[in-house]
Amino acid sequence: MRVTLKDIANELNLSVNTVSRGLRNMDDISLPTRMLIQETAQLLGYQRNLAASSLRTKRSYSIGIIITDYSNPVMSEIIDGAEAVGRKHGYTMMIGASNENAAIEEEIVGRMLEQGVDGLILVPTLLNPDLLHKLDQSQKPYVLAARKYPDCLCNFVYCDDLVGARLVADAFYAKGHQSFLYVAASHSSAVSRDRLQGFSSRLSLFGISHDNIHTLETDATREGAFQKMRSWIQAKQQDHVLPVTAIFAFSDYVACGVYAALKEFGYQIPKDISVIGFDNNEFSTIIEPPLTSVDNHFFEIGQRSAQRMLDILDLPENERMRSPQGIITMPELVWRNSVADLSGSE
Amino acid sequence: MRVTLKDIANELNLSVNTVSRGLRNMDDISLPTRMLIQETAQLLGYQRNLAASSLRTKRSYSIGIIITDYSNPVMSEIIDGAEAVGRKHGYTMMIGASNENAAIEEEIVGRMLEQGVDGLILVPTLLNPDLLHKLDQSQKPYVLAARKYPDCLCNFVYCDDLVGARLVADAFYAKGHQSFLYVAASHSSAVSRDRLQGFSSRLSLFGISHDNIHTLETDATREGAFQKMRSWIQAKQQDHVLPVTAIFAFSDYVACGVYAALKEFGYQIPKDISVIGFDNNEFSTIIEPPLTSVDNHFFEIGQRSAQRMLDILDLPENERMRSPQGIITMPELVWRNSVADLSGSE
DNA sequence: CTGAAAGCGCTTACAG
DNA sequence: CTGAAAGCGCTTACAG
């Protein structure tokens, strides 16, 4: 059997109480007994039973993190970041993936609450508007990571998509591009809309009208983007010339599909057409040509989500629900070789 | 405050005992009261406190899974598979990454044991021979996934590397290749040694001697493989001709480095040199040319690890430590376009 | 500085 | 079929 406080107490002829306090190094226990207790615990291989202590303290030192799916490396970065800061502060992470399924997401949330997590970090599916309501009822703090619920009054951490899109606009403009295609995710995605918004409003600053910005809606997968892009090329090309010189892809996955479609029609990147992606996935350095992409620092998003969580948990219980806080992180453009210079200036 | 059994009991003028049994649908409670209890629980938004119940039952319905790092997509597949079967059976997963650091690994194991996980699935670092001993002492069941501790008497699940390597040998041989380079991981890696072993013993069956199998040790990273491969090419090429026609890369990451080095020296794949990788990472379909690779079905490894765990947990406690079981999964070769046909037969 | 007692929210024999 | 009591392993006031 596992050794308990009682075992140590018996061993030392002390009370369970004293052992408990001694182990937690409280200074109302004399230093010598504290040492003695801690040494004996070590010797007997004592391991605290957190389930028991959490019953009393209402703290489990576990945090749940719910992502959408494991196949996207972006999620791994978020988990990695969150776990790193969580562990440093003595927390263990529970994990679950919704696979973009609202029912599963809700099930996982329920399970984690049963398990008694102190709080929840989630990359929400956005398909389940009731979820936030339920979370509010649960009284457990939660922070939304990497995705936006429109008008939500809650803790969240995400990358500034407007700035990211502006970075793309600036990059293309600096290289002399004047006509664009934005290969979007679903138009119902707030993130996708924001990126288009940031992109086109920046370009209009430069005197480039909306007419010069084509858009193409996709399901944000590589295969989906590939199919849509093929059709688009077929419909729009004339004498093997595209009506745009630059493509802004919603994500690197989308960019991959775009690459494949362009290559199929014999277009060379960046010679014939330039491409910039978003997310700065690892494979962006591997594909040919290496893809210029916006890094939204998902590791940092994970870290800050966890940090925000810890900050909340440090608050007295009755203050935790007050003043949710939004944290917006700054993206960064990573230059590679998928953009041609049309400006003739260098 | 969260609603407890007591609240439901008060509401219905029943004892906590009855409510507890009613909620668990035990048939020594009359059907009508059972229904009543369950409806009331639903109504009040009751959520079981697993920490409390586990204190009594010694079951937490959580399983810890410890991987080496998040950056390798292979790990995500393992987690995905393990979580899928775990969740289906009512378990929640705790997660931690050792980053190949033995001290962190041990810390995480300790934390998870404190948290009271029912068992542990781990992709061990192999740097910490004491770990298994400690795990044995903990009395908690554990299963090792995807990596081999030599001579370990414990539950494990991994892919048959010998078979995988044979698949590669067969593939190259069928296409007429006769001289090879194996780009290995560290020679202290049992997995890497097994792959070489399977590869060369198969080839010797075909009458190809060990002299025709060069080897190159790397650290199994893309960059490391790239550097080592460059040096190798410089040392071995004569008049821009390599001494081998086919390269077996320890992993797809290694293959990426190999690709980069080959391209730098102007070698075309597969025209000048053929390459086969291992792991069948997603990016293998993206790189140019698409990489033929051995899929070791990590998702399945995750699933079976969890399944094995559940099977153990179904055993009475005193039988759990008996008869550890090894499960070896079957790899599969996925053909793409990185192997030239030298046989002239088709 | 240390101990006796109560209680966290459950479940498990045991009565009736 | 339902209830009273004890206990899982801790922590928290409260005494002394």
**Which candidate, B30, B31, B56, B41, places its Cα nearest to that of B7?**
B41
B residues 279-318 near A, CB within 8 Å? Answer: 282-283, 286-288
Tens digit of each residue's pLDDT (9 = 90 or more) over B52-65: 999 989 999 999 99
pLDDT bracket for residue B2 (50, 70, 90): confident
Share of chain B above pLDDT 70, in %: 99
Query: Rounded to an integer, what distance in angstroms lies between the CA atom of residue B305 and that of residue B157?
Result: 6
In chain B the first and final C-alpha atoms are separated, in Å, by: 74
Q: How far is CA A324 from the centre of its chain?
A: 18
Residue among A55, A110, A286 whose CB faces B283 most closely: A286
* Contact criterion met (CB < 8 Å) for A48 and B114: yes
> Would you state the pLDDT for residue A345?
56
Facing residues of A122 across strands? A66, A144
Higher pLDDT, A147 or A234: A234
User: Distance from residue A19 (CA) to nucleotide D8 (C1'), in Å?
Assistant: 18
pLDDT bracket for residue A346 (50, 70, 90): very low
User: Distance from residue A250 (CA) to nucleotide D7 (C1'), in Å?
Assistant: 58
Looking at residues A290-306, what average pLDDT do you find? Answer: 96
Q: Which nucleotide is nearest to A56 (CA to C1')?
A: C8
* Contact criterion met (CB < 8 Å) for A108 and B97: no
Query: Rounded to an integer, what distance in angstroms lies between the CA atom of residue A329 and that of residue A298?
Result: 9
Helices (H), chain A: 5-12, 16-23, 31-44, 50-57, 73-88, 102-115, 130-138, 161-174, 190-205, 222-236, 252-264, 298-314
Residue nearest to nucleotide C11 (CA to C1'): B56
* Contact criterion met (CB < 8 Å) for A83 and B96: yes
Write down the residue that tokens 């040494």 correspond to.
A39
- Work out the minimum CA distance from B252 to partner chain A, whole angstroms: 12
Flag whether pLDDT at A138 surpasses 70. Answer: yes
Looking at this protein, which amino acid is placed at residue B19?
V
Residue nearest to nucleotide D6 (CA to C1'): B56
pLDDT bracket for residue A129 (50, 70, 90): confident
Contact residues on chain B for A49, CB-CB shorter than 8 A = 55, 114, 116
Residue among A47, A80, A110 whose CB faces B97 most closely: A80
Q: Does A50 contact B at CB distance below 8 Å?
A: yes
Share of chain A above pLDDT 90, in %: 70
Tens digit of each residue's pLDDT (9 = 90 or more) over A184-243: 999 888 889 999 999 999 999 999 999 999 999 999 999 999 999 999 999 999 999 999
Task: Name the closest residue on chain A to residue B58, using Cα atoms.
Answer: A51
Residue among B55, B83, B110 whose CB faces A55 most closely: B55
In chain A the first and final C-alpha atoms are separated, in Å, by: 74
User: Distance from residue B142 (CA) to nucleotide D8 (C1'), in Å?
Assistant: 24
Looking at this protein, which amino acid is placed at residue B154?
C
Q: How far is CA A294 from CA A71, A168, A181, A252, B174, in A?
A: 20, 8, 17, 9, 44
Looking at residues B133-160, what average pLDDT do you find? Answer: 87
User: Nearest 10 degrees: CA dihedral of B247, B249, B252, B256?
Assistant: -60
Flag whether pLDDT at A141 surpasses 80. Answer: yes
User: Distance from residue B268 (CA) to nucleotide D5 (C1'), in Å?
Assistant: 80
**Which candidate, A126, A118, A122, A160, places its Cα nearest to that of A143?**
A122
Tens digit of each residue's pLDDT (9 = 90 or more) over B287-297: 989 999 999 99
Looking at residues B30-35, what average pLDDT do you find? Answer: 85
User: Distance from residue A56 (CA) to nucleotide C6 (C1'), in Å?
Assistant: 12
- Considering A10-14, A213-217, B323-327, the range whose residues carry the highest mean pLDDT is A213-217
Taking a C-beta distance cutoff of 8 angstroms, is the pair A23, A49 a contact?
Answer: no
Two structure tokens written together for A30: 């004399």
Taking a C-beta distance cutoff of 8 angstroms, is the pair B35, A35 a contact?
Answer: no
Higher pLDDT, A345 or B165: B165
**Which secondary-structure segment (H or E) carries A274?**
strand A274-278
Q: Does B93 contact A at CB distance below 8 Å?
A: yes
Task: Name the closest residue on chain A to residue B79, using Cα atoms.
Answer: A70
> Would you state the pLDDT for residue B319?
82
pLDDT bracket for residue A26 (50, 70, 90): confident
Least confident of A283-287, B238-242, B271-275, B321-325: B321-325
Tens digit of each residue's pLDDT (9 = 90 or more) over A73-84: 999 999 999 999
Q: Which nucleotide is nearest to B3 (CA to C1')?
A: C9
Q: Does B321 contact A at CB distance below 8 Å?
A: no
**Which candidate, A184, A182, A180, A201, places its Cα nearest to that of A192?**
A184
User: Distance from residue A17 (CA) to nucleotide D12 (C1'), in Å?
Assistant: 10
Flag whether pLDDT at B346 surpasses 70. Answer: no
**Which candidate, B231, B282, B296, B239, places its Cα nearest to that of B257?**
B231
Handedness of CA A282, A284, A287, A290 (dihedral sign): negative
Higher pLDDT, B94 or B31: B94
Share of chain B above pLDDT 90, in %: 70
Looking at residues A46-52, what average pLDDT do you find? Answer: 92
- Work out the minimum CA distance from A208 to partner chain B, whole angstroms: 34
Looking at this protein, which amino acid is placed at residue B163?
V
A residues 247-286 near B, CB within 8 Å? Answer: 256, 282-283, 286
Q: Which nucleotide is nearest to B47 (CA to C1')?
A: C9
Mean pLDDT over each residue of chain B, to the nearest integer:
92
3-state secondary structure (DSSP) of residue A97: strand
Two structure tokens written together for A224: 């989906």
Contact residues on chain A for B137, CB-CB shorter than 8 A = 45
Instruction: List bases, strand D, within 7 Å of protein CB.
Output: 1-5, 7-13
Q: Does B113 contact A at CB distance below 8 Å?
A: yes
**Which candidate, B128, B126, B133, B172, places its Cα nearest to that of B277?**
B172
Handedness of CA B199, B201, B206, B210 (dihedral sign): positive
Taking a C-beta distance cutoff of 8 angstroms, is the pair A115, B115 a contact?
Answer: no
**Which secondary-structure segment (H or E) carries A266?**
none
Strand A326-329 and strand A213-217: the pairing is unpaired
Looking at residues B35-39, what average pLDDT do you find? Answer: 87
> Would you state the pLDDT for residue A317?
80
Cβ-based neighbours of A40, under 8 Å, separated by 6 or more: A8, A11, A12, A46
Two structure tokens written together for B52: 């409390």
pLDDT bracket for residue B345 (50, 70, 90): low
Taking a C-beta distance cutoff of 8 angstroms, is the pair B121, B82 a contact?
Answer: yes
pTM: 0.91
Mean pLDDT over each residue of chain A, to the nearest integer:
92
Edge-to-edge strand ranges of the sheet holding B213-217: B213-217, B180-184, B246-249, B274-278, B292-295, B332-334
Flag whether pLDDT at A296 surpasses 60. Answer: yes
Contact residues on chain A for B115, CB-CB shorter than 8 A = 50-51, 60-62, 92
> Would you state the pLDDT for residue A104?
94
> Would you state the pLDDT for residue B152?
77
Least confident of A111-120, A215-224, B4-13: B4-13
Q: Does A330 contact B at CB distance below 8 Å?
A: no
Where do the DSSP E strands lie in chain B?
A: 62-67, 92-97, 119-122, 142-145, 155-159, 180-184, 213-217, 246-249, 274-278, 292-295, 326-329, 332-334
Higher pLDDT, A288 or A346: A288
Q: Does A149 contact B at CB distance below 8 Å?
A: no
Q: Does B36 contact A at CB distance below 8 Å?
A: no
Q: Which nucleotide is nearest to B6 (CA to C1')?
A: C9
Taking a C-beta distance cutoff of 8 angstroms, is the pair A65, A79 a contact?
Answer: yes
Looking at residues A322-343, what average pLDDT do you find? Answer: 92
Least confident of A203-217, A242-256, A310-324: A310-324
Q: Centre a 10 Å sphere on the Cβ of residue A11 and count the other Cβ atoms it contains.
A: 16
* DSSP letters spanning B81-128: HHHHHHHHTT-EEEEEE-TT-HHHHHHHHHHHHHHT-SEEEE---SS-
* Contact criterion met (CB < 8 Å) for B115 and A283: no
> Would you state the pLDDT for residue B332?
96
Query: Rounded to an integer, what distance in angstroms lies between the CA atom of residue A233 and that of residue A89?
Result: 52
